Amino acid sequence: MIEIKIGKSKITEKFVIKENEDIYIFGDSGGDIEIEVILSESGASVNLFGIIKGNDSQRYNIKTISNHLAPNTNSRVHIKGAFLANSFMDYNGMIMIAKKAQLSDAYLKNDNLLIGEGASVNSSPQLEIKADDVKASHGVTISSVDELQMHYLLSRGINVEDATNLLVNGFLKMPILKNA
């Protein structure tokens, strides 16, 4: 398992995956990161999880690339971000499947919670698919705190700030991927 913390200076990483790998990215002070995972051997698989917290006015620039170069390879990318006042993320998530990477399965999800005033997100998940016998899909959600959930917590005597924290932390906990 590989853990990477996003910091002040830009991080650029390329991982060549021959078997299996789990990679986690964490961010809670803003920053810039570009990660490419290259699935180079048949049967290789990778999970790339990101937990991003945008505190007051922090800015993130995140790029992930899932690059399938061999057949029967598998990638799961799940980036979750929660953004407080005036924070911002620009996320670009690319899935590439080369012509010879038949029978590959690639999935990417980016879920974003916009909490604070002035929080904003740009998200562009992209697909470049050159093989036909594959499964490739992606999804993005961008929303603010669920009003019903907030209402429920408030009705149990919890104040807004504490309730927001509860909801944000729940959202950011270990990402659970749906099976695509």
Partner 1 sequence: MSKKLSPQESKLKTQQTYKPGFSMPDSSKFDAGIGLNEDIIKQISKMKKEPKWMLNFRLKSYGIFLSKKMPDWGADLSGIDFESIHYYVKPSDQEERSWDDVPDSVRNTFDRLGVPQAEREYLSGVKAQYDSEVVYGSLIKEMEDKGVIFLGTDEALQKHPEYFEEYFGKVIPPADNKFAALNSAVWSGGSFVYVPKGVDVGKPLQAYFRINAAKMGQFERTLIIADEDSFCNYVEGCSAPVYTDHSLHSAVVEIIVKKNARFRYTTIQNWYQNVYNLVTKRAFAYQDATMEWVDGNLGSKVTMKYPSVYLMEEGARGEVLSLAFASNNQHQDTGAKMVHLAPNTSSNIISKSISKGNGRASYRGLVKVIKKAENVKSSIVCDALLLDSESRTDTYPYMKIDNKKVKIGHEASVSKVGAEQIFYLMSRGISESQATALIVNGFIEPIIKELPMEYALELNRLIELEMEGSVG
24 burial type by CB count under 10 A (0-12 exposed, 13-18 middle, 19+ buried): middle
Count of residues touching partner 1 (by CB under 8 A) = 35
Pairing mode of beta strands 105-114, 135-143: parallel
Residues 77-106 that bind partner 1 (CB under 8 A): 83, 99, 102
User: Which is closer to partner 1, CB of 25 or CB of 136?
Assistant: 136
User: Which is closer to partner 1, CB of 16 or CB of 92?
Assistant: 92
Binding residue (CB under 8 A) for partner 1 from 139, 151, 165, 177? 139
8 Å CB contact between 103 and 134? yes
User: Which is closer to partner 1, CB of 4 or CB of 142?
Assistant: 142
User: Which is closer to partner 1, CB of 20 or CB of 122?
Assistant: 122
Contact between 120 and partner 1 (CB under 8 A)? yes
Contact between 126 and partner 1 (CB under 8 A)? yes
Contact between 137 and partner 1 (CB under 8 A)? yes
Give me the least distance between CB of 98 and partner 1, in Å please.
11
User: Which is closer to partner 1, CB of 126 or CB of 169?
Assistant: 126
User: Which is closer to partner 1, CB of 16 or CB of 131?
Assistant: 131
8 Å CB contact between 177 and 78? yes
Six-digit token string for 30: 């803003």
Binding residue (CB under 8 A) for partner 1 from 32, 81, 138, 172? 138
CA distance 61 to 94: 14
CA distance 39 to 134: 14
* Contacting residues for 10 by C-beta, under 8 A, at least 6 apart: 31, 32, 33, 34
Nearest CA to 174 out of 47, 57, 59 is that of: 47
Contact between 165 and partner 1 (CB under 8 A)? no
Residues that bind partner 1 (CB under 8 A): 83, 99, 102, 112, 114-144
